[in-house]
Amino acid sequence: MSEDPNAVDGEIVDETPTAALAIPSPPVPQSLPDPDYSEGGVPSFDFVRDKIENRYTTSLGSVDVAGLGTENTAEALDKKIADRDQAAKDRLAEIRRSMRGE
């Protein structure tokens, strides 16, 4: 082999970093307990009350969105549907009478 004047001697190094070269990881913070739960994992009264109130409010909102407010109860809507169906039957009977010449 011919010696190249620009060649530099080197050595093979393991690819695993040594402890001195390793980047230290930040310390893991102590996990704080969720303020809504006790150390034993029991939810607080305030948490439970808020959850119940949220569900109640959501159900009221969904009733309003569905159009079933205080003036539009399910019974009132059923009556409107029955009245409309009866009006349609009456109109059909009138059309049939007029076609027969009555």
Q: Is the pLDDT of residue 49 over 80?
A: yes
Q: Return all residues near 38 (Cβ < 8 A) that are at least 6 apart.
A: 44
Task: Tokens for 68, please give them.
Answer: 């079933």
| Per-residue pLDDT tens digits for 51-79 | 999 999 998 888 777 765 566 677 888 88
* Banded model confidence at residue 19, pLDDT cuts 50, 70, 90: low
CA distance 73 to 96: 35
> Looking at residue 62, what is its pLDDT?
82
* Residues 6+ away with beta carbon under 8 Å from 69: 63
Average pLDDT rounded to a whole number, residues 22-49 = 77
- The mean pLDDT value for 70-92 works out to 86
pTM over 0.75: no
